[in-house]
Amino acid sequence: MRYDSARLTGLQDFPDTTRRPHFDGPFFTITVLLLIAGVVMVLSASYPRAWYDPGHVTGGNAAYYFVRQLVFALLGLAAMLFASRVPMAVYRRCAFAFLGFTLVLLMLVPVIGVKANGSRRWLGVGGLTLQPSELAKLAVILSFSALICRYRARMRTFRFGILPFAGILGAIIGLLVLEPHFSASIIILAIGAVMLFLGGVRLFWFVGAFGAAGTGIALLLTLFPYASSRINSWRDPFGDSSDQGYQIVQSLYTIGSGGLSGLGLGGSRQKFLYLPEEHNDFIFSVVCEELGFIGAALILCLFALLILRGYWIAMHCRDRFSFLVVGGVTSLLAIQVFLNVAVVTNLVPCTGISLPMFSYGGTALLIQLFELGIVLSASRDVPVH
């Protein structure tokens, strides 16, 4: 999917001014199906904790998390439909302003951010919280796409193909480390690498980047002891199942108890305060327990169809910027789905990565649906086949 391949060298620099009146139906339909399934699973997974309410946040209202997620799902659908009507040229013009706005928000987090679970990752806005790292993912995609279009003939040089992009990534990752928010850092590095690959950067630079990433991980394990403890609990979660390995052990119990066909919607036992983050990062474990292997496989198939359709739209875009943005948003979705499922199944060390459209989180859901709306906007420019 590199734009300097035989087909993509013919892409226009700017979107065509003629747009179809309708966006891509299959992409929209699959998105809505996943959103409905996600909201239903939030209700099923969250009501025991909402009813028990040890922090006196929900007031004992068992539907507290569900109602909030439903409201943001409806707002997210409106945002997606709005984003689908904005021409791609507007996103290109606003890319660097949006990047600057995101950097300002990230700089505010260590100063006035809301602290929870030992990290300061959120900004309080009225009665809501906003996680700027979610905005940073979209900012990287838009700004990288605009820069690649600007330097398309010089992307294989260090000065234009590496230096400005490394500067953007360095600024964002540096601010995320201050929170600290390592899972978002990993995702942003991954999506940055994807964007540069799509932009035609020499593969030689990726070898150096992997070496630098290895060095960074080694420093992380040295400077932050809790990161090292996560590696140890990943390697042998049952060795300390009452402390460091507790969460992943409970996740594996949850997944295993679902069997082939599951315990039925609402029938999970582990969500009754045994499994931490059951309605958030580990909601897929509850999906496995209640819907079983068959239901979980169907959910993953829907995600796979959405991702494949996103790449199909990217490959049929008529301009370079739309191709890069759609490829980036689709890759971001694929990375987050893979990493979330890998975490809850203990394939990779435990990190705070949510499952798109399923994990509880209003502003994150809103931003995710807006990103998918940008894909729908690009689909309006795809020629009719």
The amino acid sitting at 310 is G
Q: Which two tokens stand for residue 345?
A: 């199944």
The pLDDT value given to residue 16: 54
Residue 370: inside a domain: yes
pLDDT band at 18 (very low <50, low <70, confident <90, very high): low
Q: Please indicate, yes or no, whether the overall pTM of this predicted structure exceeds 0.85.
A: yes
Domain range spanning residue 341? 8-379
Give the separation between CA 146 and CA 91, rounded to whole angstroms: 9
pLDDT band at 3 (very low <50, low <70, confident <90, very high): very low
The pLDDT value given to residue 244: 77
Instruction: Tell me the per-residue pLDDT of 253-274, one tens digit each, with 9 for 90 and over.
Output: 999 999 999 999 999 999 998 9
The pLDDT value given to residue 12: 60
Of residues 149, 117, 110, the one with CA closest to residue 133: 110
Residue 1: inside a domain: no
Instruction: Tell me the per-residue pLDDT of 32-83, one tens digit each, with 9 for 90 and over.
Output: 999 999 999 999 999 999 988 766 677 788 999 999 999 999 999 999 999 9
Give the separation between CA 173 and CA 3, rounded to whole angstroms: 26
Residue 385: inside a domain: no
The pLDDT value given to residue 175: 92
CA 291 vs CA 115, 175, 285: distances in Å: 35, 39, 10
Residue 142 has pLDDT above 90, yes or no: yes
Task: Say what the alpha-carbon torsion angle 133, 135, 137, 143 is, to the nearest 10 degrees.
Answer: -130
Instruction: Tell me the per-residue pLDDT of 339-353, one tens digit each, with 9 for 90 and over.
Output: 999 999 999 887 778
Residue 169: inside a domain: yes
Show the 3-state SS of 7-67. CHHHCECCCCCCCCCCCCHHHHHHHHHHHHHHHHHHHHHHHHHHHHCCCCCCCCCCCHHHH
The pLDDT value given to residue 67: 94
Residue 3: inside a domain: no
The pLDDT value given to residue 227: 60
Range among 18-22, 108-112, 334-338 with highest mean pLDDT value? 334-338
Residue 2: inside a domain: no
How many domains does one find in the chain?
1
Residue 266: inside a domain: yes
The pLDDT value given to residue 7: 44
